[in-house]
Amino acid sequence: MHENRVVITGLGIISSVGNDVATFWQALKEGKSGVGPLTTFDASKFDSRVAGEVKGFNPALGDIDFKEARRTARFVQYALVAAKQAIVSSGLDLDKGNKERFGVLIGSGIGSLHTIEEEHKIFLTKGPSRLSPFLIPMLIVNEASGLVAIKYGFKGPNSCVATACASGSHAIGDAFRIIERGDADVMITGGTESCIVATSLGGFCALKALSKKNDFPQKASRPFDKERDGFVMAEGCGLVVLESLEHAKKRNAPIIAEIIGFGMTCDAYHITAPDPEGEGAGRAMKLALADARLNPEDVDYINAHGTSTKLNDKIETFSMKRAFGAHAKKVMVSSTKSMIGHALGAAGGMEFVVCCLSIRDGIVHPTINYEHPDPECDLDYVPNVSRKAEVKVCMSNSLGFGGHNASLIVKKFDK
C-alpha cells in the first residue's frame, strides 16, 4: 500500500564528462565521451588501458579542506561534493526542518581500494606501526553515507548498500521506501565509486570483462553494438534529494520528477554471469511496473544497464522483451555508459539523475558508438544522436554481479 508520494527535488553529479549537473547533461546530449587513456597509474602491462576518469575534481567544492581531503577517501569526497550540489539545487534550508527525519543512503560497490593498496605497501615496507589510523574509516563503503550525515547533521535513517553494479539503484529504491512508509521526510541517496586502481583493473582484466579497444578509447564503450568487447571502468557519483510530497509542498520546493516504482530480484544463477534467459532482470522490471501501477505501454524511455559486454547487452535486451512484450520495440532505450563508462556502484545513481533530466527537458541522450547492429540486440537504442521527445515515464535498470537486479520508475510530476 503506497502511503507518502515521493518526489525528487535536487540533483548532484561527478562524472568523466563533467563535475556538475549542467556540464554533465550538456555533454550527454551532445554525445561526448569521457573515456580516455588511463592516466592515474602506469597501465602499460594491462590488457585494458582506458577508463572514464573524473577530471579536474575539486574537493573544496564540497567544503572539504586540505587536511580533511588527506584523510577522506576519494569516493567519499565525490559524495560530499555531489551531496552539496543536490542540497543546494533542492533549496533545502538546513536551518529549518527536523534533522531527525533527514536521512542518507548512499551505495558503493567497492569502497576505497586505493587506500588498501597504499596502506598495504606501507605495511610490507615499514610494518604495522606505520599504518594510518584512518585506514579502516577510509576504506569501508558506509563512510559516504556517514560523512554526508555528519557534514549536515542529518540524524534520520542512515545506511549503505553494496550490491556491486546495482548499489546506486538499490540505495535509491530503499530510500524511496523509507520515505514512502513515513520513516523520513528527506533522503540524500544514490551511488558513489572511485576504484580505478591497478588491483581492480587487473581483477576485471582477469575476468575478461573489459574492452581492449585501447587505440580508440572513445570508441571502446559501445553498448548493444555487435563489435562490443567489454565494459570500460569509470568512476563518479550521482546523488538525488528525495522528499515526501507533503514536505516538498510545504516549502514550495522545485519538484523535478516523482519516483513511483521499485523492483528488485536475484537471478540466483551465477556469481558474475547473468541468467541467460533474462528472467531475473525481466521480473524486476515487471515488479517495478506493478509497484508503479503502470502498464508497459506507459513507459516512454528505459535507461538501460547497457555495459557493452557481450553477455549483458544481449541478455538485458531479452529481459526488456520479457517485461515489455510488443512495446519493447517501441520504447526508447539508451545507455549512459556509452559515454561515461561503467562507474560500478555509482552507475545507478548517475543514471537515475539522467532519467530525471530526460523528464525535465524532454530529451533522450544517445547510445554512442552504435555502428554495427547486432541481430540479438534489436531494440531502439537511440543511436548516436539525442532525440527530442516528451518523456512522461522512464525506467532505470541496474544489474550487478551476484545476480542483483534493480529497476526504478520515475515520472513527470503531476499535482
Residue 275 carries which DSSP code? Answer: P
Catalytic annotation on 342? Answer: yes
**In the block, which residue shows the cell 542518507?**
104
**In the block, which residue shows the cell 556509452?**
338
- Choice among 114, 170, 247, 342 that is catalytic: 342
- Choice among 114, 160, 165, 237 that is catalytic: 165
From CA 355, how far away is CA 367, in angstroms rounded? 14
Q: Which residues contact 215 (CB under 8 A, 6 or more apart)?
A: none
CA 257 and chain centroid, separation:
17
Query: Residue 33 in contact with residue 50, Cβ under 8 Å?
Result: no
Dihedral over Cα of 35, 36, 38, 39: its sign = negative
Q: How many CB atoms lie within 10 A of CB 127?
A: 9
Amino acid letter, residue 7: V
- Coil, helix or strand for 383? strand
CA terminus-to-terminus distance, the chain? 20
**In the block, which residue shows the cell 549512459?**
336
Amino acid letter, residue 263: G
Catalytic annotation on 114? Answer: no
Catalytic annotation on 305? Answer: yes
Sequence-distant contacts of 269-272: CB under 8 A, at least 24 apart: 269/403, 270/403, 271/401, 271/402, 271/403, 272/207, 272/209, 272/401
Strand partners of residue 404: 266, 400
Strand partners of residue 192: 237
- Choice among 114, 247, 305, 365 that is catalytic: 305
Query: Helix/strand/coil (H, E, C) string of 128-151?
Result: HHHCCCCHHHHHCCCHHHHHHHHH
Residues with catalytic roles: 165, 305, 342
